[in-house]
Amino acid sequence: MPPAARTIPFVTVDVFTDKRFAGNPLAVIMDARDLSGPEMQTIAAEFGYSETTFVLPPRDPQNTAEVRIFTPVTEVPFAGHPNVGTAHVLATAGSVFGMPVGDEIRFEEKAGLVEIAVSRGPGGKVTETAIRAPGPLTIGASISATVMAPCIGLAASDIGTDTHEPIFASVGLKFILVEVISLEALGRANPRVEPLELLRTAHEDENSDCATFLYTWVGPDHVRARMFAPFDNVAEDPATGSASAALGAFLATLGPAPPERRILVEQGVEMGRRSLIGVTVTTTAGQFDQVTISGSTVAVMRGEISL
């Protein structure tokens, strides 16, 4: 007799929104103990979302779970919306691997330990999850506007350089941060693979896929953003928490910063999947200390994968 098919339950959620079919979709495999790494990659490719998460028992019983994160083409050490969404799923379920899940969650990930705080409303319903980026801020090479512009289908004059040139930055996952001068320029942006490939080759030491986070200011503490990651098979991402965290941390290095600054990142508008990401940056003695991102999540689907 052929072996019985394995079935693996999953749920999907939309993250950084309180409305279904907005925000950034995420698939969560709540019990991945029977899956190999290659099987996880295959499942992530099948979903085709920017990321899919796989929940495993923690290595340290003091933590909540180990979480592995896969794009359609590769595993990544950290990402924002997968943590926000996965924490929401586990906190809503109330337990994982027979252990209760409270309002303080700790995920073991390749980038380090990720700490999540859960907020609840009436009846104990999860209303928001907030995560602290797992890594210190690292700043890499800067890129001239002339070199960056063809990579995103814009003119060099569309890129604002008064505050900073395009630059590699990370608090767990690396992005190129690019300020553009207007919403109109942001709307015209379009990634170009050939120039991006040349850029990636020129900056091999950054060990980066040149995921590019474009933003423009629309208020004193409000930015609109877009993120392109063609080498990760993500043409455009509707919400990128890890990039928003990197931006907030980086901005804190550009001049005198208050002890705490809150920034709202609005993303996904051009895709019809508006997302709202809260970014809170704290500094100590004028130096960057930590960054957290927060947002809402809404359940969409659940089912089983047959293997």
7-131+296-306 — its CATH code?
A: 3.10.310.10
Check if 7-131+296-306 and 138-295 are the same fold: yes
How far apart, in whole angstroms, are the C-alpha atoms of residue 160 and residue 216? 9
Q: Report which of 279, 282, 298, 302 is spatially closest to residue 290, judged by C-alpha positions.
A: 282
Identify the helix (H) or strand (E) that includes residue 171: none
Q: How confident is the model at residue 148, as a pLDDT?
A: 98
First-to-final CA distance of the chain? 16
Q: How confident is the model at residue 285, as a pLDDT?
A: 83
Helices 241-251 & 80-93, crossing angle to 10 degrees?
120
184-203 b/e (C-beta count within 10 Å ≥ 16 → b): ebbeebebbeebbeebbeeb
pLDDT band at 209 (very low <50, low <70, confident <90, very high): very high
Q: How confident is the model at residue 5, as a pLDDT?
A: 73
159-186 confidence digits (pLDDT tens): 999 999 999 999 999 999 999 999 999 9
Q: How confident is the model at residue 43, as a pLDDT?
A: 97
Lowest mean pLDDT: which of 3-7, 63-67, 223-227?
3-7
pLDDT band at 3 (very low <50, low <70, confident <90, very high): low
138-295 — its CATH code?
A: 3.10.310.10
Q: Report which of 67, 83, 73 is spatially closest to residue 50, judged by C-alpha positions.
A: 73
Q: How confident is the model at residue 2, as a pLDDT?
A: 55
Q: Is 173 left (phi over 0), alpha (psi -120 to 50) or beta?
A: beta
How far apart, in whole angstroms, are the C-alpha atoms of residue 153 and residue 196? 11
Q: Which residues are catalytic?
A: 51
Whether the Cβ atoms of residue 298 and residue 127 lie closer than 8 Å to each other: no
Residue 142's Cβ-count burial label (10 Å; 0-12, 13-18, 19+) is: middle
CA distance to 134, 138, 154, 163, 253, per residue, from 246 (Å): 11, 9, 23, 16, 11
How far apart, in whole angstroms, are the C-alpha atoms of residue 151 and residue 74? 22
Whether the Cβ atoms of residue 26 and residue 52 lie closer than 8 Å to each other: yes
Domain boundaries, the chain: 7-131+296-306, 138-295
What is the Cα gyration radius of the chain?
A: 19
- Can you give the pTM of this predicted structure? 0.94
Name residue 275's beta-bridge partners: 267
Q: What is the mean pLDDT of the chain?
A: 95
Whether the Cβ atoms of residue 152 and residue 143 lie closer than 8 Å to each other: no
User: Residue 56: which residues within 8 A CB-CB, separation 6 or more?
Assistant: 32, 33, 65, 66, 67, 68
